[in-house]
Amino acid sequence: MSETTSVWIAIGLDIAMIIYTLWVVSLGKGNGKLPVDIGIGMLAWLALLHAGQSTKSMFPSELSGIIFLVIIFVAVGVVGAMLFLVPQIRKRLLALDQQQLMLMQGIRVFFGANFLMMASLGSLPKTFGILDGWTHIAAGFFGLIAAFALARGADGIRRAWFANIFGVADILIVASTLSLVLLPTLTPYHTMMYAVFLPAPLWLWFHIVSIWKLIENRPVVSQEVNA
């Protein structure tokens, strides 16, 4: 598979993630319609990301793994600032219940499948690509299972905790391995960066918000069980 084809598959997945995320946001209490304005902002960021990646102007040619990992976490911080400091976005995010927050992770199964394909074609180191692919598929699957369990009242809280812990660990391990071990081989302009700098920070924040809500609502859940 050519590099151009790989890039367009990555862009297609990012666009699918954007549409899916907007749909799930529209399910939140009081949200209603698709948040087109947020979608335009996400597409604009994707366009900037593509411009930086295609022209290789986003990062210096020589970049250490530690510095790249710091850049990833800075990007996560910037995304978090936008999520919580922009009132319209914060309102929509906090209106999501646990089912919607878990649903957000479901799209990861397709990214995992893409990583498996890249590993099979030699675009990613085989061991890393296979492990990353399966853990992403598992993270998305566990999110969907938790969402279904929460909707059905089938021990959903415990499953949500597991999905969140697994999903956060997956993101952190992949980011660390990519930066500290594989960066010299892959370079900062590998196709995988389309996932690292757009969906991954959002998935991490959806996990964080879900965990925060689980902790905040724990006493209420306990009282309901005792009743």
pLDDT digits (tens, 9 = 90+) for 146-199: 999 999 988 899 999 999 999 999 999 999 999 999 999 999 999 999 999 999
Give yes or no for a contact between 193 and 176, defined as CB atoms under 8 angstroms apart: no
Q: How far is CA 147 from CA 56, 153, 187, in A?
A: 39, 10, 36
Residue 169 belongs to domain spanning: 3-226
pLDDT of 31 reads 65
Is-above-0.75 flag for pTM?
yes
Cβ-based burial of 193 (10 A; exposed 0-12, middle 13-18, buried ≥19): buried
DSSP state of 106: G
* CA-wise closest residue to 194 among 118, 143, 137, 140: 118
| Domains contained in the chain, number | 1
Query: pLDDT-derived band of residue 131, with 50, 70 and 90 as boundaries?
Result: very high
Mind listing the pLDDT tens digit for each residue in 31-65?
Answer: 667 889 999 999 999 999 999 999 999 998 789 99
* Confidence band of 222 (pLDDT split at 50, 70, 90): very low
